[in-house]
Amino acid sequence: MAAVPRLLLRDLNVRWAAPPAAPVPPDPKGVFPEADDASLERISRTLAEALRKMERMETREAGILLSKAEEEARAVRLGEATRPLIAEIFLRRGLLRLWEGNSGNAEEMFARSRAMRPGFTPDPALFSPAFRDAWARSGSRPAPEAELLVQSIPPGASIAVDGKPRGMTPARIRVSSAGPVRIRIAMGGYQDAERTGQWLPGDSESLEWVLGRDRIATLGELLAASPDGKGSGKLLAELAAGAGATRICLLVLEGRNGKAAVRVLSASRGATDPAMLGEVEWPSGEEGIAEAATMTAKLLRDAGWPAASGGPQDPDAPWYHKWWAWVLLGAIVVGLAAGGGGGGGGSSGGSTGTVGVSF
């Protein structure tokens, strides 16, 4: 079947290209600007005010300011300038927990502070024996990591973190705190989904995606349920509009009694549904495939698709001098072209440009 696109190019003035991808909305949470002087000064000022509140034992106000400082620090890209600030925030929050009598949570915060600032040892003259004991115990804890529960509907999607496979949904994964990481999930027949985020040691979050159906897979299901193409017009119009084409061709291949046959459908972009142009047997062997491709090309030419103008096409010619088509070989073959004519027939009209897709 690999020879079919080349054989159709022999008789039709088309060009294979990539299918128009469905638009993916940007992830507003995945943008982390670099920490500039203004942002660092803002974080430092909030942290300093929290420390002054702690000196006056205004613990409630200090906790609020520490949370604000952490929020400001998380809004920028994690780096060498922000890590010490975040480590200090965790240390001070741990000290507040210790004052409350919650030593377990205090040690957890101290462990998170250690992970952000390895090798740091607080000055013993500045802290109480109770703090020094809790700090020492935190060092024997396992190094904290961010843990994420990655889920998808439907489940069973593959997970990749910065391009490296990490199992299938649902799954719990751990990520480092070196900076922003990209989590991408993919599943056959569905659109890929991803999110870029940055998580600190000890963070825990659930990430959930509802995967949208891939338009090409949806088209295959429509054609399988309705061989004459009924009900596929809306989706075909969306694909054509995305490709900038005005004419659509579908070649649906299927096996019959050990032989292959192809149903040829065509429609203009505004048509409700494609029209059946005919059916061609698809014999085995190079000669049989060439014959089937010739018959298929004739059906398309009779429906208004442009005949080859003679001579090889110039790949560098302007787009508006070409007719493009796209094809999926196997269960379905889909083609788009721009130009005059529509539906299952009519004259070819003038060539105004085309877009094509190859699956």
Position 53 scores a pLDDT of 97
Identify the structural domains of the chain with CATH numbers, from first to last.
4-22+215-337 (no CATH), 33-138 (1.25.40.10), 146-210 (2.60.40.10)
Tell me the mean pLDDT in the region 73-86: 93
Q: Which two structure tokens, joined as six digits, stand for 301?
A: 């030419």
Whole-angstrom Cα distance, residue 263 to residue 56? 82
Is residue 338 predicted with pLDDT exceeding 50?
Answer: no
Tell me the mean pLDDT in the region 113-142: 92
Position 358 scores a pLDDT of 32
Please write the tens of the pLDDT for every residue from 226-236: 878 888 878 87
Please write the tens of the pLDDT for every residue from 183-241: 999 998 888 999 989 999 999 999 999 998 887 778 777 877 787 888 887 887 777 77
Is residue 92 predicted with pLDDT exceeding 50?
Answer: yes
pTM beyond 0.85, yes or no: no
